[in-house]
């Protein structure tokens, strides 16, 4: 049925429509039709709001009052100091544009890193993988990404190849004028191949820039992939992300999402098992204060038998911060011997903080092991007292316990340099020196 009432566009929705109308998409790498269709879907739905179940706790329509303009096309901006990052491979995007001078891309055999445009030309299957949304990943936010994102990194690891060092995709926002940045990345890891990729986000505090990224990850048979997301954006930023992953038989994917920054952030992740005996490990960490809001919404699709998924989400909230975790595991009728576990724990450091945990299991197979748990609480006074009784002052004892709480997720990061960077953010959040 057609709606008879014209939906009233919000200022942000109207601005986004206007930006799109002002963009020349004729020669677009993604294809003008794909982009236009995505914009139409966005315009029909508008920004998601609390009456849509999956957005109940993150009312984007209300929160996103404005949409800053697209970045100026002019001289490229300098990335600045990157010494805080691990040595090794990096693709540096400054305000949405690849800074080739600051980047150091791998040139190993079997490893191909190209721009989205180049990759779409070289790989006919890529467009198809990027266009259709996986179940649990579709949203107006993803549509916006499809409509606007014409750039990004495409990483392909050939069968049997190994990316010898982690590749960091650094999204840095610089300058004093806010802008809306859209990027689309893809990672394809071949059979028996290994790779670690880290997406990092950062920018100045107090500047309301918006970042919308989407990434598609394909993990080949028996492949081993770690995908880390470190969101340390400025205090007024919006960071909206879509992650889609498909895991092949016998493969292992470790997803880590750590969120420290942004006024509002949301990661919508969808992971599908398409081959048996595969493993997904997800570790999520949020450390928030002030009025920060961070949402991780995850959909795990056990489409085939004999796969294991483990999710551990840890949230530390101070002041009036709000953390949202929505995790849904679907076990399809054929997916016998599924082992699916989900645990979400929130540590509330103040009266005004709020943690919303929504674990969901939908099980259609009868021979499975699935479980979920959710806890919210304060720092354990018994543990605090024990530490103090050994001479550790209260504030230091609190920090130790918070670090310990967060550490369970941080320790899942195998690469030492990347683990150190995330641990460093956690320590900075606590205002303590890292005792290495």
Partner 1 sequence: MLEIKNLHAKVAEEDTEILKGLDLTVSAGEVHAIMGPNGSGKSTLSNVLAGKEDYEVTDGEVLYKGEDLLELEPDERAAAGVFMAFQYPVEIPGVATMTFLKAALNAQRKARDEDELSTPEFMRLVKEASTKLNVSQEMLRRPLNVGFSGGEKKRNEIMQMALLQPSLCILDETDSGLDIDALRIVADGVNQLRGGDRGIVVITHYQRLLDYIVPDVVHVMSRGRIVRSGGKELALELEKSGYAAYSEEDKAA
Binding of residue 82 to partner 1 (CB under 8 A): no
Binding of residue 388 to partner 1 (CB under 8 A): yes
In this chain, which of 4, 389, 416, 433 binds partner 1, going by CB under 8 A? 389
Write the burial class of residue 16 (CB in 10 Å: 0-12 exposed, 13-18 middle, 19+ buried). buried
Binding of residue 383 to partner 1 (CB under 8 A): yes
- Residues in 167-226 at the binding interface with partner 1, rule: CB under 8 A: none
In this chain, which of 144, 219, 230, 400 binds partner 1, going by CB under 8 A? 400
Query: With respect to partner 1, which residue has the nearer C-beta, 263 or 400?
Result: 400
In this chain, which of 396, 414, 415, 419 binds partner 1, going by CB under 8 A? 396
Binding of residue 363 to partner 1 (CB under 8 A): no
In this chain, which of 76, 401, 417, 427 binds partner 1, going by CB under 8 A? 401
Binding of residue 107 to partner 1 (CB under 8 A): no
Other C-beta atoms closer than 10 Å to the C-beta of 369 total 10
Distance CA 283, CA 278 (A): 17
Query: With respect to partner 1, which residue has the nearer C-beta, 364 or 385?
Result: 385
Segment contacting partner 1 (CB under 8 A): 135-143, 188-196, 396-404, 423-431? 396-404
Binding of residue 435 to partner 1 (CB under 8 A): yes
Q: Closest separation between CB of residue 287 and partner 1, Å?
A: 14
3-state secondary structure 119-156: HHHHCHHHHHHHHCCCCCCCCHHHHHHHHHCCCCEEEE
Q: Closest separation between CB of residue 350 and partner 1, Å?
A: 19
Q: Closest separation between CB of residue 252 and partner 1, Å?
A: 24
In this chain, which of 4, 390, 416, 431 binds partner 1, going by CB under 8 A? 390
Q: Closest separation between CB of residue 405 and partner 1, Å?
A: 6
Query: With respect to partner 1, which residue has the nearer C-beta, 241 or 346?
Result: 346
Q: Closest separation between CB of residue 433 and partner 1, Å?
A: 11
Binding site for partner 1 (CB under 8 A): 381-383, 385-394, 396-397, 400-401, 403-405, 407-408, 435
């Amino acid at each position: 049925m057609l709606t008879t009432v014209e939906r009233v566009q919000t200022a942000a929705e109207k601005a986004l429509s206007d930006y799109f109308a002002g963009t020349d998409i004729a020669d677009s790498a993604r294809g003008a039709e794909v982009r236009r269709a995505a914009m139409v879907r966005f315009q029909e739905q508008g920004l998601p709001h609390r009456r849509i179940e999956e957005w109940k706790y993150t009312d984007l329509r209300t929160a996103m009052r404005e949409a800053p303009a697209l970045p100026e096309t002019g001289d490229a901006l300098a990335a600045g100091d990157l010494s805080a990052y691990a040595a090794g491979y990096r693709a540096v995007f400054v305000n949405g544009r690849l800074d080739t001078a600051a980047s150091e891309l791998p040139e190993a055999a079997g490893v191909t890193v190209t721009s989205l445009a180049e990759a779409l030309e070289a790989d006919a299957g890529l467009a198809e993988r990027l266009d259709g949304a996986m179940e649990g990943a579709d949203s107006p936010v993803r549509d916006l990404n499809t409509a606007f994102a014409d750039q990004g990194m495409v990483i392909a690891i050939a069968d049997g190849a190994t990316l010898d060092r982690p590749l960091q995709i650094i999204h840095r926002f610089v300058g004093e004028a806010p802008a809306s940045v859209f990027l689309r990345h893809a990672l394809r890891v071949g059979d028996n191949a290994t790779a670690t990729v880290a997406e990092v986000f950062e920018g100045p505090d107090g500047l309301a820039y918006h970042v919308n990224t989407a990434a598609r990850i394909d993990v080949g048979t028996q492949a081993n992939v770690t995908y880390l997301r470190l969101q340390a954006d400025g205090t007024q930023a919006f960071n909206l992300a879509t992650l889609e992953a498909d895991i092949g038989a016998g493969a292992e994917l470790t997803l880590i999402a750590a969120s420290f920054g942004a006024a509002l952030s949301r990661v919508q992740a969808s992971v599908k098992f398409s081959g048996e005996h595969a493993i997904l490990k997800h570790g999520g960490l949020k450390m928030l204060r002030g009025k920060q809001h961070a949402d991780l919404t995850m959909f795990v699709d056990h489409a085939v038998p004999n796969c294991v998924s483990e999710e551990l989400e840890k949230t530390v909230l101070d002041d009036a911060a709000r953390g949202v975790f929505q995790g849904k595991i679907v076990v399809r009728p054929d997916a016998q011997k599924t082992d699916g576990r989900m645990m979400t724990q929130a540590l509330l450091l103040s009266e005004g903080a709020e943690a919303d945990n929504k674990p969901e299991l939908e099980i259609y197979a009868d021979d499975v092991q699935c479980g979920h748990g959710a806890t919210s609480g304060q720092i354990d006074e018994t543990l605090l007292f024990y530490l103090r009784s050994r001479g550790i002052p209260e504030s230091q004892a609190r920090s130790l316990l918070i670090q310990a709480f967060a550490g369970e997720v941080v320790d899942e990061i195998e690469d030492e340099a990347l683990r150190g960077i995330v641990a460093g953010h956690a320590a900075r959040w606590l205002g303590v020196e890292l005792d290495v």
